[in-house]
Amino acid sequence: MLFDCLQMPEWCLRFGIVLSANQQPFSREEAALYTEHLRTLGLAHGIDRIGVAPATVMQRARETLHSRKSVGLHDTMQFTYRNPDRSTNPDAAVPNAKAMIVGACSYSTDTPDEPTQLSARVARYAWADYYEKLRDGLGVVTETLKSDGWNAQVFVDHNALVDREAAYLAGLGWYGKNANLLISGAGSFFVLGSVVTDAPLVVNERLVDDGCGACKRCLDSCPTNAIVEPGVIDAAKCLAWLVQKPGVFNRGYRVALADRVYGCDSCQDVCPPTVRLGITTKPTNVRAWVPILHMLNMEDAQLMESVGQWYIADRNPMWVRRNLLIVLGNIGSAEDEGVRNAIAKFCTHPEPMLRAHAIWSAARLGLHQFIPQSDEDPVVVEELKNLPELRVG
């Protein structure tokens, strides 16, 4: 019955026989046919890689999250660390879950030319909304499952599941020493997501062997030494987290931020499998850089609209401005009138957090005329006590 429905799904749905067919157990052959049908469907709708993992508790990931959380390696990061027991249990997302259909969409795009205006760098995964393509493709798979009488739910860019572990269990790749999932024959420039379902699909039974060997380029290239050992990240040092973390940006890592306003690709840009094997496309409608001075002059609503798909804590534009001000101190020129005007404006800004970071940048650029002699706010006072040296070059 199932095979016939796969051949003529519209006929099956029209006459309402799929639900009754699904009340009977799948044979191994039927399950394999249905699994392949769903995989082919996802690939046809823009997903680059698909695998199927068992929807059992991801015990290894659970133990890892608890262990790293216990020693503070997560810093204040939440996401899947918030509730490890939930984020490693697919059954908590979909009752009686049997399988996770894991999809991966590449965001490996040739780097566009750098603009001539003063600009800040954006991490590659945020050049466009790559999750939208993945969400759409997995959505088609989900609707097919539901139409066929199964319960299914999409989880893309969501804290309900540890997506890298799901992809690993689905046989899509291995964990690199930079803690990213390296997809076999393609590298790590992928966004990941899953469909959790109670359909009894054929799941992967063979994990991908480590492909890193003795290579440790990612460890050597990290600008803050955040990869404390192979596969282990100290979030308190990781720029990709620090640009998202609310509060005062750690002074010890501001210079290392360089021109980055959102994310960091350093450990992936040097990864041999990613560099050699990554799927590359010509850049279209991507935004690899953002104009610093223009964004600093935006009103709140305009600024947040311009960074729509970025994760911004509490959707507070202050954190975007904070990052932009640090970048301004790292790459701006004191001879640039626009830079001087921005520094002057934010050194007297009513928000102490922004005053503090503008003061840091003013000192870096030698614009001490804009630095106040004193301030009543403790955040700014602390900044005045720890002014950086003048930037050289």
pLDDT band, residue 16 (cuts 50/70/90):
very low
289 φ/ψ angles, rounded to the nearest 5 degrees: -135, 155
C-beta of residue 227 within 8 angstroms of C-beta of residue 218? yes
Q: Residue ranges per domain, the chain?
A: 2-113+124-197, 297-393
Residue 44 pLDDT more than 80?
Answer: yes
Q: Beta-strand (E) ranges in 59-172?
A: 99-106, 119-122, 152-156
Predicted local distance difference test score (pLDDT) of residue 31: 94
Task: Place 80 in a pLDDT band, splitting at 50, 70 and 90.
Answer: confident
Question: Has residue 18 got a pLDDT over 60?
Answer: no
What is the CB-side half-sphere exposure of residue 203 using CA atoms within 13 A?
22
| Contacting residues for 104 by C-beta, under 8 A, at least 6 apart | 47, 48, 49, 50, 134, 167, 172, 183, 190, 191, 192
Judge whether residue 120 has pLDDT over 50.
yes
Task: Supply 384's token pair.
Answer: 């005045």
- Say if residue 191's pLDDT is above 80: yes
In the prediction, which pLDDT does 128 show?
93
* Res. 392: pLDDT tops 70: yes
283 has pLDDT over 80: no
**Measured distance CA(172)–CA(304) in Å, rounded:** 35
- Could you tell me the CA-to-CA distances from 71 to 81, 128, 238 in Å, in that order? 13, 35, 16
Amino acid at 114: E
Give the percent of the chain with pLDDT over 70.
92
Local structure of 374: helix, strand or coil? coil
Over 50: is that where the pLDDT of 1 sits?
no
Pick 210 or 113 by higher pLDDT.
210
Residue 21 pLDDT greater than 60, yes or no: no
What residues form DSSP beta bridges with 229? 232
What local confidence, expressed as pLDDT, does residue 13 receive?
A: 43
Q: Give the pLDDT mean for 340-344.
A: 98
Band the pLDDT of 3: cuts 50, 70, 90: very low
Region 258-282: mean pLDDT is: 87
Q: Is the pLDDT assigned to residue 47 strictly greater than 80? A: yes
Alpha-carbon distances of 316 from 320, 322, 352, 360, rounded to whole Å: 8, 11, 15, 21
Mean pLDDT of the chain: 92
- Report which listed range, 7-21, 63-77, 167-181, is most confident: 167-181
Q: Categorize the per-residue pLDDT at 76 as very low, low, confident or very high, splitting at 50, 70 and 90.
A: confident
The DSSP element (H or E) to which 70 belongs, if any, is helix 59-70
Q: 25 pLDDT band (50/70/90 cuts)?
A: low
**pLDDT for position 282:** 66
Active site (catalytic) residues: 157
Could you report the per-residue pLDDT of 129-181, keeping only the tens digit for each? 999 999 999 999 999 999 999 999 999 998 889 999 999 999 999 999 999 99
The CA distance from 229 to 212, in Å, is 14
- pLDDT average, residue stretch 277-286: 69
Query: Confidence band (pLDDT; 50, 70, 90) for 17?
Result: very low
Prediction pTM value: 0.91
pLDDT on residue 160: 85
Task: Give the per-residue pLDDT at 20.
Answer: 37
206, with CB counted inside 10 A (0-12, 13-18, 19+), is exposed
Considering Cα of 361, then 226, then 309, then 158, what sign does the dihedral take?
A: negative
CATH code assigned to 2-113+124-197: 3.40.109
Average pLDDT over residues 341-357: 98
pLDDT at 11: 33
Q: Which residues pair with residue 174 across a beta bridge?
A: 182
Residue 278's pLDDT is what? 60
Phi, psi of 142 (to 5 degrees): -65, -45
**Residue 281: what pLDDT?**
64
C-beta neighbour count of 11 within 10 angstroms: 11
Report the C-alpha gap between 121 and 226 in whole angstroms. 20
